[in-house]
Every structure is written in C-alpha cells, then in structure tokens.
Amino acid sequence: MAETGHRLMQREISLALADPTLRTALKRAMAILYQRRESAFASIDYEALRSRAHAIKEAAIARNAELLVELEQRVLTAGGHFFLAQSAEDARQYIANLARNKGVQLVVKSKSMTSEEIDVNHALEQLGIEVVETDLGERIIQLAGEHPSHLIVPAIHKSKEEIVQIFAENMDVPNPPSDAEGLTLLMRRDLRQRFITADMGITGANFVVAETGTVVLVENEGNIRLTTELPPVHVAVVGLEKIIPRFADLATLLELLPRSATGQLLTAYVSFISGVASSEILDTGRATQMREREFHLVILDNGRRAAARDPELRELLYCIRCGACLNACAPYRNVGGHVYGVHPYPGGIGCAWAYITSGHAEAKQINGLCTTCSRCTEVCPTKVDIPWLNTVIKQRNNQEFGAGFRQRVFARADLMGAAFSPVAPVANVGLRTMPARWSFALMGIDPEKRLPRYERETFTNWYRHRHSVSVGQSHRRVVLFVDCFMNHNLPQVGKAAVQVLEAAGVEIAVVHNSCCGRPAMSQGLLEVPRRWAQQNLDKLGHLVEEGYDVVCVEPSCLSALRDDYRRLLEQTPSASDPRLHLLEEHSYDFAEYIVNGVRDGSLSLRLTPVHSAFVVHGHCHQKSIGIGSAPAEALRLIPDVTVHEVDALCCGMVGSFGYKQEYSDLSRAIGEELFEQLRAHGGEIVACGISCRSQIEQGLGRRVFHPAEILSRALRPPLSGSNIGGGTAS
C-alpha cells in the first residue's frame, strides 16, 4: 500500500473507532454469535466433523470439472436451464437478457453474496427493473443505500435506533414501531405483495449437489421459499465452489453450517430444489403473462477455476461462508466489514475472495488488517487456513507492487537483535530519543509505541557459560527452541524455563536454531523463512528422531513449527520428509509440556506454596492450536495459588501489527478490551508472548511475567542467587 494508502486506511479506522453506535452494535452482535457457536458445538465431535467437511470440499474442488458436467446433465434432465459464466459480466448479461426477454418488471431476491459479487441489482435496475431484497437485513441495507458488512448478518453494524430511522425515511411510515417484532411485522407486510407480483426470483445457494442437480438453501425467515416458489422464473446464482458430489455429503455440511453461522442446530427452513418447481403459477397481476415455470442455474467462475489450480489459494474454495471467522476476528469486531472488506466480502476471508474475484490491488487495501493470529482458523468449519491465504497474498502483493522498507525491518527480528544486543544500554536509550521517534514516524511506525528492551547478555551466551547442572538419570530430553525475542529481549524467560525443566528432571539441549520465521512471514516475505524452516528441520529433525522433544517459550514459534513449516516447505522435497511430521508431533509449548508431563507422571516438579493471585491472558496462537488454558493450568500446579483466566479475544499488538501507524489506534482499541478485564482482577499478570507482554505493560503500566518465571519462583528448594523474574518492563 502506498503512503497515501496508509493514511487513508488510518483515517477509515479512526472514523470507525470514533463511531460509538457502530462499535456497540458490532461488539454486542459478535459476542452473541461467538457464544452461541461455542454452545452449539458442545455436544458433538467438532474436530472430527470439520475434518470430514474439509475432505468433502477438498475432493469436490479436485473433481470440479467432472462435477460441472454431471450437474449440467442433471439440471437439464430435470427441465432446468444451465449456464456457466466465466466472469461476473457474463453472469450479469445472462440474467439481464433473461429478464428483458421475459418482460420482467419486478425481481425479488434472497440474500446472496454471489449475486452481490456480480452486481446483478445494478444491471437490472439499468433496465428499469425494480429489485427488492427480501432478507430482512439485506432489505435494511438496501433501503440505507449501503453494502452488507457481514456474510450472515448484513446489517450487523446497525443499531435498532438507526433501523427505525431507515424505516421512517423509506417506507412512508412516519412513526414506525421501535421493537424488533414490530419492525419485522412492518417489513413482512411490505414484502408480501412484492412476492405475489414478482416476475422473477433470484437466490444464491449454500450447496449444489452434482449427483441429483439439487440446489440447497438454508434460511430462517422463509423469504427464500417465497422467492423460489411464487415468481414464475427462479434464477440461482452459485459459485462453482458450492458444488459437492453426493447428496449424502450434505449430512456433514448441514451439521456444521448453521452451528457455525448462527449457533443453531438447524435453521428454520432448509429447501431442496431440483429443477422446475411443480406448483401452479398464481394469476396475481404480474407484468409478465408467463404460464410456464422456469429454473435457471447460473454457475459462476470469475477466478475460481484459476484458484482451484493454484496450490496456495485452492483452500479458499473450501469456504462455506458461515461468517464464523468474522466473529472471531478482533480487527473486524472493532471496525466492521465496510472498513475491513472489499465489497461484497468482509474480513480476512474477504481479502482472499477479493484477490481472486475483484483484483489484486483491491485485496492489497485490506491485506494488512489480517493479524495472522489464527483465531479464524480455529473456528472455521472446513479448516480453511485464512492467515496462510493472507500471507501468500501479501507475498504476491510484495512481488507485484513492491515491499516497503518498514516490512523488511520488521521481518528481520534476528538482525535487529544481533545489532542491538551488543550495545543494549546505548540502544535502549537511543531508541527512545526524539530523533529515533521521528525516524519511526517517517517509516510508518507509531512513535508512541516503545520497542522491547534489548539485553546485552543474550540467552545463548548465558547458556554457553553457565555451570552444567546434573539432572540424574533423565528419561526426558528436550531441545529448547531459542527464539529471537527470548534470546535478545527476554533472556530471563529462557533462564527460568531452563531451571524449571531441569528441576523436573529434564535433560536440555540448546542448538543454534534459526529464527522460526514468523516475523518475516507476517510481512509476506517468505523466501527467507522457507530457508530457515529447512535449516531448523535439519537441525531439530534428527534430534527428534533420537527421542528429543522441542519446547518453545514463545507461542508464535510453536505455531510456526506445528503449522507453518508444512506450508513453507510444501513445494519442496522436504514436504515428504518424515521428520517434518515428527517435528510437528513433538513440539510443545513450555506450559503445555510441563502440565502434560506432571499429569502423566513423566515429570516430577516439587513446588512450594505461593499465596499469590495471578491473572492469565492466553496467547492467540496457543488458543488456535488448542492449548489456550495451558498457562493457567501450569500455574495451578503451584500449591495455594489463585489463578484467574481472562477471556479477551486478542491483546491487539500481534507481532508488528500494533507498531504500524495505520493500525496503532485499532491495536489500542483491541487492547482496551483486554485491559478492562485485567483491571477487574488483582494479582500479577501472566502472558506468554512478547507481543502480549509489550502491549499490556505499555497499556496498563503493570509488570507481566511468563509462566516459566512464576514456576521458577516456586521451585523447592529456592534457587540461591537466582535473578529470575527480575527483568525490566518495556
């Protein structure tokens, strides 16, 4: 994004954050949807179900060309019409020509992102045809002259008061009701006559079954059934990624979609439409005198087949558009889809959809808003790795539009550490001077954000010169992964981890591993991380084969080892290296490793009672890989301790995100939600990631500790001469 683009994004974010109505509406709705989803999945095996869904979609995309042929045959046999639109323009023209030829004057539509993608409303309105959205949320947005801001709840950003005002201004009702039931009844009365007299109904589809030619539509309002059954012509506009092979596949997908989207076990209506509707056409005074029903299935390509052939983007087509990723996205929950989105697709998944359907420049506008925290992947019912898609897109944008100096600086945490640690006392002062802050501002870095302090004695130097410690006859061996920040900024965390592991009887090895690659990946600069991934696989892989486990104190590094290396190396011979799977299976978070070892009896950790309270914030990457409670569980191993876990979505710093000037206000807004929860509890704050630590310490002015630092205090007997936990707040 050019410098002017940075300023434009910053201005749009500032305007959204300054709108209390928008923020209140978003937070209230997002929280409800997120909680309902969690409750809906409590009674089923979510991981097994989403794995099956992923496999169904993966197989469907691989067979898409074959399924298209089968689907066309089924639709034609059932008396329908079939059209494969190569582009949005092709789809628009087909529908517009059909409407013109049939003499259509009124079209009713159900909610459809694909019809928004092709901008069919505008094409029909240019012909003098009235188009009426019949989904309540879509109708509100249409009357307001806006675009949807959410995949499932288009008017999620509107307050009730705003909706009342929209009705009053657009429905010739001076004093509309102010309650939800009254507003819905008013809209229902207005739409009823439109359904009866409409000449054409346009829908999307949630799924299309190639085996039977069946269009599947999921809804709660009943408007879709009226849209498909009352008008004489029904047109379904469907992206080709919605095609699935068999009717039996629906069982899995229909268990996941409503639970993910609205927190329901099943929506109020699920319609299965195969070919032409069998009901008679009612004579209700329509413009057209059609006596025969017609069904038209328009399958849209518009970049999808190219994405299906692209091994790095193919996964996007597994999306079933449930919107769960938006509800879990901290940036989206604060600014909404009009800022974080390219019409019609909002959020991180919207960036990927925009990239293949709208254009690379459009996707670049919002690409940086994805923090790659992976919370969206955690809730995706088909296991789409949205952060990886956005990382790939960022890399391609760098290649197409160029990477800035700021990106290159943030990508090399290893070089910054190597440069500043030897002169740490001078660097720590110099980086806080006014000239340095001016330089940061020129680079697009928020001058108010303080960089973490550097330490002259790095962890590796400390470890190299320390006295060896005998752990006796150890049955557990660990390679401690040395990340850039532990090494140069927080060596006390590494020291504490070593002491706790050795106290538990673990033999420790420290090798000269390369940077995990996360800082460079977050900037879309993937070539160096690919090299580092290969180097770390070579260095750690043979040790894992020999029985070592790998333990990380920084959760982002663990996420790289468990998830990202397979992505980074998938186009190389190492993709089939058996050591890659071993490295994934035997890499652990520090807290996770301690808790698991104590519980299964393989580790013995003698801890003294600590009559203290701790409040724990879980790192995003810990949560995304299913170990979000590990830090709190590790602290609960200490006798007499009181532990509170806060439930904030994110700290808002997320690596370099919070340092970037255009996102710094948003970073603070996200952080404030966490700060409110932390203020509600006394005691010391515990967080695992350096980003979380920096954000909390600067935002609250309170010290933050790693679980390893707390556990090291409780070791029995006390560690004489230990200075663990004595680091300086940044």
Report if residue 281 sits inside a domain: yes
How long a stretch of residues is the chain?
A: 730
Helix, strand, or coil here: 294?
strand
Structure tokens at 285: 């005074």
Q: How many CB atoms lie within 10 A of CB 76?
A: 14
Please give the share of the chain, as a percent, with pLDDT higher than 90.
Answer: 89
- Rounded CA-CA distance 320/207 in Å is 8
**Measuring CA to CA, which residue among 215, 239, 354, 256 is closest to residue 56?**
256
Domain interval for residue 201: 58-302
Whether the predicted pLDDT of 442 surpasses 80: yes
Whether the predicted pLDDT of 725 surpasses 60: no
For residues 319 and 241, the answer to whether their CB atoms sit within 8 Å is yes
Whether the predicted pLDDT of 1 surpasses 50: no
Q: What is the pLDDT of residue 308?
A: 97
Q: What is the pLDDT of residue 726?
A: 36
260 residue type, one letter: S
Q: What is the pLDDT of residue 475?
A: 79
- Rounded CA-CA distance 500/10 in Å is 44
Whether the predicted pLDDT of 199 surpasses 90: yes
Tell me the mean pLDDT in the region 137-166: 94
In this prediction, residue 286 has a pLDDT band, given cuts at 50, 70 and 90, of: confident
Report if residue 218 sits inside a domain: yes
Tell me the mean pLDDT in the region 542-570: 96
- Rounded CA-CA distance 712/88 in Å is 61
Report if residue 66 sits inside a domain: yes
Report if residue 568 sits inside a domain: no
Whether the predicted pLDDT of 722 surpasses 50: no
First to last CA, the chain: 30
Tell me the mean pLDDT in the region 692-711: 96
Report if residue 665 sits inside a domain: no
Q: What angle do CA 207, 213, 218 make, to 5 degrees?
A: 30
For residues 650 and 670, the answer to whether their CB atoms sit within 8 Å is yes
- Residue indicated by tokens 């298209």: 68
Whether the predicted pLDDT of 729 surpasses 90: no
- Rounded CA-CA distance 662/340 in Å is 13
Report if residue 81 sits inside a domain: yes
Per-residue pLDDT of 301-329, as tens digits, reads 999 999 999 999 999 999 999 999 999 99
- Rounded CA-CA distance 67/541 in Å is 41
- Rounded CA-CA distance 471/120 in Å is 71
Q: What is the pLDDT of residue 474?
A: 67
Q: Partners of 642 in the beta sheet?
A: 613
Per-residue pLDDT of 641-670, as tens digits, reads 999 999 998 999 999 999 999 999 999 999
Residue 430 sits at φ, ψ, to 5 deg, of -65, -35
Q: What angle do CA 597, 703, 431 make, to 5 degrees?
A: 115
Per-residue pLDDT of 54-99, as tens digits, reads 999 999 999 999 999 999 999 999 999 999 999 999 999 999 999 9
Mean pLDDT computed over every residue of the chain: 93
Give burial (CB, 10 Å; 0-12/13-18/19+) of 466.
Answer: exposed
Give the range among 1-5, 42-46, 124-128, 309-313 with minimum mean pLDDT. 1-5
Report if residue 92 sits inside a domain: yes
Q: What is the pLDDT of residue 552?
A: 98
Tell me the mean pLDDT in the region 695-715: 96
Total structural domains in the chain? 1
Per-residue pLDDT of 373-432, as tens digits, reads 999 999 999 999 999 999 999 999 999 999 999 999 999 999 999 999 999 999 999 999
Report if residue 214 sits inside a domain: yes
CATH number at residue 104: 3.40.50.10420
Of 436-450, 469-483, 522-536, give the range with the top mean pLDDT.
Answer: 522-536
Whether the predicted pLDDT of 730 surpasses 80: no
Whether the predicted pLDDT of 259 surpasses 70: yes
